[in-house]
Structure 1
């Protein structure tokens, strides 16, 4: 629809990264796009909307709580980590769950 009225998509990231899009009706949309790229690279624009970030943090907090109260001991925690390790990087798991390199590698 925006294309039909003369707008150009200038979003500095792809659709897989975010549902948000930026459009310009400027006669020089490449200038707008470059400005957005600069803002994005410097961290002023986040491709993940705030409501998703909050849910992500809620997920990690809940996951951390389940790790802390796991009654199956080390084996139970390892099993939980092995399931989530398939979907997240080691760095994400280590930083969000405060687990050691050994725990992540063992999983």
Structure 2
């Protein structure tokens, strides 16, 4: 109808991903804190969903692999 305000109510999933995205970006603990957050939710979501929904760059993936190798081989 013309003259009425169109209101779109976001889905609960959209609200979650938007809040998570904002929290992730505001994380004060740097890359280690971000990797920790992703490792926790990674148990419930597939990798592609997290990358797509959070618009993460592949450099984080490389950082995660590097950190995993450091722990695996005792570099830490």
Shorter-normalised TM-score: what interval? Answer: 0.5 to 0.7
Q: Which residue of 2 aligns with 1:101?
A: 58
- Structure with more of its chain in helix, by fraction: 2
- Which residue of 2 is the match for residue 57 of structure 1? 14
Which protein has greater RCO, CA pairs closer than 8 Å, 6+ apart? 2
1:70 counterpart = 2:27:
yes
Contact 1:90–1:104 (Cα < 8 Å) also in 2: no
Equivalent-residue separation in structure 2 for 1:75 and 1:94 (angstroms): 17
TM-score by length of 2: 0.64
- Other structure's SS at 2:11 match: helix
Unaligned runs of 5+ in 1: 1-50
Instruction: Confirm whether residue 90 of structure 1 aligns to residue 47 of structure 2.
Output: yes
The 2-side partners of 1:91 and 1:66 are apart by 19
Question: Hey, what does 1:6 align to over in structure 2?
Answer: none
CA contact 1:93–1:104 (8 Å) conserved in 2: no
Rounded Cα–Cα distance in structure 2 between residues aligned with 1:62 and 1:81: 14
Moved segments of 4+, more than 3 Å: none
| Aligned length, in residue pairs | 56
Q: CA RMSD in A?
A: 2.1
| Cα contact 1:60–1:96 (8 A) shared by 2 | yes
